[in-house]
Amino acid sequence: SNPFGKDYYDPDGDPLPDLSDPAVVDSLRRNSKVYLGSPFRLYARYRFRYRQNISFGFTAEKDEGEEFFQGSQPQGFDYYSAHLFLRDVGRFKNIAVGDYQAQFGQGLVFWSGLAFAAKSSFTMNVKRNATGLSPYTSVNENLFLRGAAATYSLGKRWEVTGFISKKRIDGNISSIPAGEDTLGTNIQEVTFSSFQEDGFHRTTNELRKKDAIGEQIMGGHLRYVGRGFSIGATAAHVDYDANLQRNLQSYNQFEFNGKGNTTAGMDWNVLYRNLTWFGEAAMSTNGGMAINSGLLVALDKRVSLSMLFRDYGRDFHGLYSVAFSEGGSPWNERGVYTGIEIRPNRKWTMNAYFDQFRFPWLRYQTDAPSAGFDWLAQVNWRPSRGTELYVRARHQNRARNTTDDIDGIDFVVPVTQTNYRVNATYKVSDAVSLRTRVETVDYQSGSAPLEHGFLIYQDIVHRPLSSPLELTLRFALFETDTYNSRLYAYENDLVGVFSIPPYYGRGIRWYGMARLTAIRRVDIWFRYGAWIFQDQTVISSGLQEIPGNIRSDLKLQMRWKF
């Protein structure tokens, strides 16, 4: 398990078939007997927009392995979404019906939808920029609201937003009424132990978790915009029709349990000359508190600074909180982040940050209060319009239980990870660009042996102005000692697909993608790629197991704009 990234896991499901069965092969070549449905992922989306005032659309999706117009999915797709969104209707700034997103403040009280990691080479991006209400068009089956919402202008400086949502979400049911649990306790209500957020419904076990819990949300946001500042107040109440009772462990005893929670708070943003002060303070029903506050300072045209302080209580409950944090969610954390950006001239840019943090209480796989730090330094050089080179170093230090079995005691040891990267982009001509990257990683847990990882890839992008065909190609070589020393790299993919897969083991990764504008306003994408592992005879495990050393993927997409 790697504390610096989310690990993969095998989903629960039916007993595995005999792996000698020839039907259990790479899902690209033949259906697998492991899942109920076909190995194909299907995605359809329609969206109509009139200027910036009207947006209407629907989305449908079926994941790999899910049934389609049969069995558990007689209605066709596993997931459907639709929205109607209006802007500037009289004094209404926004009106949302159907599926939508709501984002306020710095994400401590309420933030639906994705919020990308604030720690990156863009060291000034520590401030969340809330969009308020917006239409939802993604295929993520959890990060949205379903109902109605509106933002109403109360004058030149005041506005108020109200929102309500009601939908069913996936969860792991642990008991149902009119029964007894394994200890013979009489059960009076439905209880669940955790949320299921992967959106997969491919097996009978996964289908039992689908739409198992009813969720209702009500909330509002009041905002005042003055000269050079704004201040807002947000409150949101989340109710479930089942009782959340987590499997009690030492580290999670302060996390939310129950059927309902209210979170409320205030946010602010002050602009004075070359300084921006922002932040948010929040409190949950049980009295748990959280606060973050930051500064953005332009010292002159060449130097900018960023700072952010956060203090999130171990008993703070924010079921829709997505704020700046090291631990993934804003609770049980204190820290100070400092960043700098230097631009000595048009060709050079230097970015660096240092983030120091503490976890006052235990965490998952860390059976003691702990502390750590994270720093990054990057230098960008752009000698000409079509050429850019950057060099990056990053070091992370955190604590984690040792993997050594020492008399049944889990001692906490430091876990370090250091990455070095060189990335170059070169425009050969108006039509052809090259991207090259070399990256290494060193990972160590306590006194265990140092683990290494290496990645090198070459991209070729062909985008001629006068041709209807665009091509993107990648060839990569990688080698890592273990999954802990894996490396990540962004991959070009279809429209609406965000892909940053892990490179681990030893092997080759290649893919090619073509975009063809067949006729005016009609685009077709074709993408084919493969992982060729030189150190494996079986890829993955459990329900995802593929005999052999090749895993391939094929994608096709068409877009018609009219």
Does residue 72 sit within a domain? yes
Instruction: Give the end of a domain, one of 266, 284, 302.
Output: 284
Does residue 417 sit within a domain? no
Which helix (H) or strand (E) segment holds residue 303: the answer is strand 303-312
Does residue 515 sit within a domain? yes
Residue 553 and residue 474 in one domain? yes
Q: Which residues, including other chains, have CB under 8 Å from residue 85's CB and lie 6 or more apart?
A: 54, 55, 56, 94, 95, 96, 97, 100, 133, 134, 135
Nearest partner of 455 among 531, 388, 507, 497, judged by Cα: 507
Question: How many Cα atoms are found within 13 Å in the side-chain-facing hemisphere of 84?
Answer: 3
Residue 11 and residue 82 in one domain? no
Residue 19 and residue 151 in one domain? no
C-alpha distances (whole Å) from 323 to each of 5, 104, 310, 327, 375 are 18, 11, 10, 10, 19
Does residue 57 sit within a domain? yes
Q: Let me know: does 539 contact 548? Beta carbons within 8 Å.
A: yes
Does residue 222 sit within a domain? yes
Sole residue written with tokens 């279809």: 494
Distance, in Å, from the CA atom of 260 to the CA atom of 217, rounded to the nearest integer, reads: 10
Please name every residue paired with 314 in a beta bridge, in sequence order, or none if there are none. none
Question: Greater confidence, 528 or 328?
Answer: 528
Does residue 185 sit within a domain? yes
Residue 2 and residue 144 in one domain? no
Nearest partner of 440 among 475, 476, 474, 478, judged by Cα: 478
Report CA Rg, the chain.
25
Residue 1 and residue 105 in one domain? no
What is the domain count for the chain? 2
Confidence of residue 325 (pLDDT cuts 50, 70, 90): very high
pLDDT tens, residue by residue, 356-380:
999 999 999 999 999 999 999 999 9
The pLDDT, as a whole number, for residue 496 is: 84
Does residue 382 sit within a domain? no
Residue 209 phi, psi dihedral angles, 5° rounding: -90, -15
Residue 18 and residue 41 in one domain? no
Q: What is the mean pLDDT of residues 314-328?
A: 93
Confidence of residue 177 (pLDDT cuts 50, 70, 90): confident
Q: Is the predicted pLDDT of residue 425 greater than 80, yes or no?
A: yes
Distance, in Å, from the CA atom of 3 to the CA atom of 426, rounded to the nearest integer, reads: 35
Per residue, the 3-state secondary structure of 41-74, as one string, reads CEEEEEEEEECCCEEEEEEEEECCCCCCCECCEC
Residue 40 and residue 182 in one domain? yes
Residue 95 and residue 177 in one domain? yes
C-alpha distances (whole Å) from 492 to each of 28, 455, 461, 501 are 20, 17, 10, 11
SS3 449: coil
SS3 206: helix
Nearest partner of 318 among 308, 301, 333, judged by Cα: 333
Please name every residue paired with 133 in a beta bridge, in sequence order, or none if there are none. 102
Nearest partner of 196 among 186, 206, 204, judged by Cα: 206
The pLDDT, as a whole number, for residue 181 is: 54
Does residue 403 sit within a domain? no
SS3 162: strand
C-alpha distances (whole Å) from 205 to each of 13, 167, 441 are 5, 21, 38
Mean pLDDT in the chain?
Answer: 90
The pLDDT, as a whole number, for residue 3 is: 38
Instruction: Give the end of a domain, one of 233, 265, 284.
Output: 284
Residue 508 and residue 556 in one domain? yes
Q: Is the predicted pLDDT of residue 182 greater than 90, yes or no?
A: no
Residue 19 and residue 39 in one domain? no
Which domain CATH number covers 241?
A: 2.40.160
Is 0.85 topped by the overall pTM? yes
Residue 469 and residue 546 in one domain? yes
Domain span at residue 552? 1-23+432-562
Q: Is the predicted pLDDT of residue 29 greater than 90, yes or no?
A: no
Pairing of strands 229-244, 191-195: parallel
Instruction: Give the end of a domain, one of 238, 259, 284.
Output: 284
Please name every residue paired with 272 in a beta bridge, in sequence order, or none if there are none. 275
pLDDT tens, residue by residue, 258-276:
999 999 999 999 999 999 9
Residue 42 and residue 100 in one domain? yes
